[in-house]
Structure 1
Amino acid sequence: MTPFADPPAFPTLTWPAADGPQSVRWRSEAGVPPPKRVVLADDRTTADSAYRLACEGTALLWHGDFQNARQLLQAMTRRLERKPPKRATSPLDAFNQHRQAQSQRARTLGMLLIPLDADYTIPLRRAPDVRDACTEVYGAPAAHASAVSLRELLGLIGAHEWRKKGVEIPALGERIHPHYGVFSPVRGEYIDLVARTPLPSLQRAFDIGAGTGVLSAVLAKRGVRSIIATEQDPRALACAQENLARLGYADRVEIVHADLFPPGRASLVVCNPPWLPARPASPIEHAIYDHESRMLLGFLNGLAEHLEPGGEGWLILSDFAEHLGLRTRDDLLAAIDRAGLAVAGREDIRPRHPKASDPSDPLHAARAAEVTSLWRLKTR
């Protein structure tokens, strides 16, 4: 790893050295600023020492064996988990504590850093080849060396494997290949709802916030002749385009860059917004948290003017937020009413994911009670 001398136009990580401060490009897909205090660490660094420094806000730039760095990260994780959680007084309190613990975990474990050469090679012993995974996320190699948290790097590696392997979608009889930062359809309940609910028409549909393109693919498989799928995120646009082309639906599904709705009207407008009305802590969390219900309310308030006469809007939403105390059912029904819409019907499904039956999960009570619904909405 060769540091650079001239100040670049991107965030930099700086650490002291015998011949003066050294700097490399800082990478963080979560938008975390570079740590202000950095020390060099290697195979002699103990887990207790690393954990103490990380808790104090000091990052450790690793110069030892890569596999030892992975073991050190696991040891730091075990130390984090030793602290017993506080007793929550309500589901909302449990949710807030859970998010706080997640934030602390990410902050602490994110302090173990790995160097990357300009071509994304890791200049460490027993390091894996991560060049393809890094290129998928960071783009073509740049002219400078960089550093990234080991935790993020492992996430890139995992996402790369998921992208190659794909996620089996029974409703399609095919696999969907998620890109890094695009919500993966590992929870299939909402897909099953779209696959089984009677279609109001086969003429034209809009898929709002297409993500991987999985719902557009399901609609195309069911015979909808023309679909416009919208997305704002460049990674999601590329991901949906790739999946739909591979599945043979590119001639029936148009992918467009748009905030919510495309121009015009459709007989069916489908939207699966993020289910929790809370502020995302990082760009990647935008698929989970819908701050101030922006996407939910934007969909509801714009739906009527984008529906053909007799058409339906399908809102796919979990009641998880209701069980956590983040939103009430009355809030949702009032928003539907204010938008000039009426509920024509509802399809429900229970969760199948492992956390729903895991009593050790801090949000188990809410997860066990969760129901995901497809709300069939029409104009009044």
Structure 2
Amino acid sequence: MTDAEKTERSVLVSVTGRAGRLTLNRPRALNALDHTMVRRVDDALAAWEHDPSVRTIVLTGAGERGLCAGGDIRAVHDDARDGDGTASAAFWCDEYHLNARIARYPKPYVAVMDGIVMGGGVGVSAHGGVRIVTERSRIAMPETGIGFVPDVGGTYLLSRAPGELGTHLALTGAHFGAGDAVLCGLADHFVPSAALDILLDDLAALPVDEALARHVRPLPEGELAARREWIDACYRADTVEEIVRRLLAHGDPAAKETAETLLSKSPTALKVTLAAMRRARRLATLEEVLEQEYRVSCHALTAPDLVEGVRAQIIDKDRDPHWSPARLDDVHDADVARFFAPLGTRELGLARPGPAPEETR
């Protein structure tokens, strides 16, 4: 099989009726995104943008397990360990440009977020204009567990969630379902998974609003709203150390369990993520946040925790990462600041500054 054929098969591109269909087609890898897949999706969107016969874009994932488990983190690991980071930086550059294209796409972009949707999967779905979740949806930005930081616009989305819910999700990497995805602004509508095939048929034949009206059902209750009191109180702190202290002292067993979860993550990734979330709140546009995330991602390639985290969680699967530094107290402000340093001629080139967002918390 040629490389071109592999690319064709890893993303299925078709037009059915009025809908352009994009199917991520690596089910054995839970549809994890690689660079060629990102380019294929971007090329299809560029072609359809000015095609009057295509009225709606629909994104799905092949197989029964989920839309997309994220980016090809093994390739990033190998590049950080053995290469010079150029391949990973190029992948992220195209991926983040794709995320921005999806967010600004002039036609309805319907993302079916059924099953597992993590990391890069969030990037190709949650920036869309119409985001469908089901009772099987399990969404997460789990990067701190591999020594990395939420990207693909994740810090933009989560920094705009109510109160400190987004901070909680970004730092812990916790999975959440349909109700919480809508609460936090990462999804719009609930459709039972049994109705998805008929929904896809209707999207090919009808305007999006009419198709949705046939299948959208009341949203299941989530879990985060009931926990918001202690989440807001604890995560409002200015440092990760103080967040952990408040969680341990709160008294709610779930808060203590969350503190233990945080203490298992990369100390550096936790501190950089908190700084990225706070900075993202002050940035007005997705493009500005993606610019920031690109800097952080590129600098992460030269830090030890990304390679070690992927080794422990994905490659060796011993679940015993040896973080460096190993303690929160040993990660200093200067260590965090270097992740946000400008890249000079290697900047992403997306940022379009806008007015500062209104404070809603």
One fold, TM greater than 0.5?
Answer: no
TM-score, structure 1 as length reference: 0.27
Larger helix proportion of the pair: 2
Higher Cα Rg, which structure: 1
